[in-house]
Amino acid sequence: MYRPIIGVSENVVKIREVIDHIADTGLNTVICGESGVGKEVIAQNLYQNSSRSGKPFIRVNCAALPDGLLESELFGYEKGAFTGADRKTRGKFELANQGVLMLDEIGDMSLPLQAKLLHVLQSGEFAPLGSEKEVKTDTWVIAATNHELEKDIKAGKFREDLYYRLNIIRIYIQPLRERPEDIAPLIEYYLEEYTRQFNTAKIIRPSQSVIDQLIRYHWPGNVRELQNILKRMLVLGDAEKILNELHARSGEINGNPTTVTDDRTPANPMNIIDLYGKDSPNESSFSLKKIRKTALDHIEKEVISHVLEKTGWNRSKATKILKISYKTLLYKISDLGITPPSKN
């Protein structure tokens, strides 16, 4: 299913610009990023914006099949080529002729199969299993991976010559936690889609408080995890319970452990007085929702302040310890009102 690339972050804007420039070139492309960030969506956008749109778009998951099956899936086979080959079968390279073949999880392909793939990319020809006759193909290969292929090359797990043959164009999509400004647009888009999918009478939008908590969440499963959470919210309708499960499962807020990689932990544990001041909560002011948000903000502020203090307000070092982007750190410093110590 074709989907547009949703987001307003600098990363997403640049990806759209790259697609506009290269979609009609047919240059081999590698799309990199963590699992669940939407690599197939980018591949589909490349395809839709190219002159090959309308021709076949075929995706093969290289990690889902053992070597023998993956080879026959890609290149096809003649009748009798192996036990169970009772008829001639065309492979994906032949079926994708004049179109696009997306090789997902290319980093999981074995070295012998990488050698055969390299031959196809160099010559535009391949031989099905059990055949001596070469088949020509004009296929635009778009590879995707969550591996760091440069490290795989050094470890002897990926062919350097194949890497340079594939990596003419490289597109990197950041994890969702590094582009929190994309979360609200993604929520809006997928809620509309799932409302149609589930035949809901009207779009059920989460409250701003829920959206704020979703923006702060770490999203280890990236956009795919966000999609699943939104489906659950639409079907089950209990947003608060689902949010509680998210935070309990992750054990962290916005990717920041509640204990840092220093040998000390933030001081000043919270209690109810921190949330409401010296007065006891009354019926009109008491709110678990308010407590939750204030607590999350308090913890984040304590952790970030602690790390900044220990690094002498070196923001680059702090981002490495906190495992967040520089842009996210600057946003948090401003949003939470964190200020450097006075020099007086």
State residue 177's pLDDT score: 94
Number of domains in the chain: 2
Q: 3-class SS at 189?
A: helix
Q: Given 122, 152, 174, which residue is the final one in a domain?
A: 174
**Dihedral, 205, 209, 213, 215 alpha carbons, nearest 10:** 60
**Alpha helices, DSSP H, located in 174-263:** 183-197, 208-216, 222-236, 239-250
Going by the DSSP 8-state scheme, the letter that residue 136 receives in this structure is E
Q: Is residue 91 a contact partner of residue 134, using CB atoms and an 8 Å limit?
A: no
Residue 113 lies in a domain: yes
Which of 174, 203, 229 represents a domain boundary (last residue)?
A: 174
Q: Are residues 36 and 162 in the same domain?
A: yes
Backbone angles phi, psi at 83, to 5 degrees: -60, 125
149 and 266 in a common domain:
no
What pLDDT score was predicted for residue 179? Answer: 96
Note the pLDDT of residue 22: 93
What's the CATH code of the domain at 147?
3.40.50.300
Q: Are 92 and 41 in contact (CB under 8 A)?
A: no
pLDDT at residue number 249: 67
163 and 275 share one domain: no
Task: Say what the pLDDT of residue 270 is.
Answer: 39
Domain region containing 300: 251-344
pLDDT value of residue 201: 62
Q: pLDDT value at position 241?
A: 80
Give, in order, the Cα–Cα distances in Å from 321 to each of 34, 94, 148, 251, 313: 20, 49, 21, 17, 12
| SS3 state at 257 | strand
Looking at the structure, do residues 263 and 127 belong to the same domain, yes or no?
Answer: no
Query: Is 16 within a domain?
Result: yes
Nearest Cα to Cα of residue 58 among 71, 74, 70: 74
Asked if the structure places residue 182 within a domain, the reply is: no
Residue 60 is predicted with a pLDDT of 96
User: How high is the pLDDT of residue 253?
Assistant: 42
Q: What is the pLDDT of residue 250?
A: 63
- Do 154 and 255 fall within a single domain? no
β-strand pairing of 100-104 with 57-61? parallel
Q: Looking at the domain assignment, is residue 191 inside a domain?
A: no
The answer to whether residues 43 and 150 belong to one domain is yes
Extract the tokens encoding 312. Answer: 């002498």
pLDDT tens track of the chain, all 344 residues? 678 999 999 999 999 999 999 998 989 999 999 999 999 999 999 999 999 999 999 999 999 988 888 999 999 988 877 777 778 889 999 999 999 999 999 999 999 999 999 999 999 999 888 888 899 999 999 999 999 999 999 999 999 999 999 999 999 999 999 999 999 999 999 988 888 887 766 667 788 888 888 998 999 999 999 999 998 888 777 777 888 887 776 654 444 443 333 333 333 333 333 333 334 445 454 455 555 566 677 778 878 888 888 888 888 888 888 878 888 888 889 888 898 876 54
Q: What is the rounded CA–CA span in Å between residue 198 and residue 338?
A: 43
246 within domain boundaries: no
Q: The pTM is what?
A: 0.70
111 domain residue, yes or no:
yes
Of 155, 174, 193, the position where a domain reaches its end is: 174
In a domain, 58, yes or no: yes
Would 232 be classed as within a structural domain?
no
Cβ atoms of residues 214 and 187 within 8 Å: yes
CB 234 within 8 A of CB 194: yes
Residues paired with residue 60 on neighbouring β-strands, in sequence order: 103
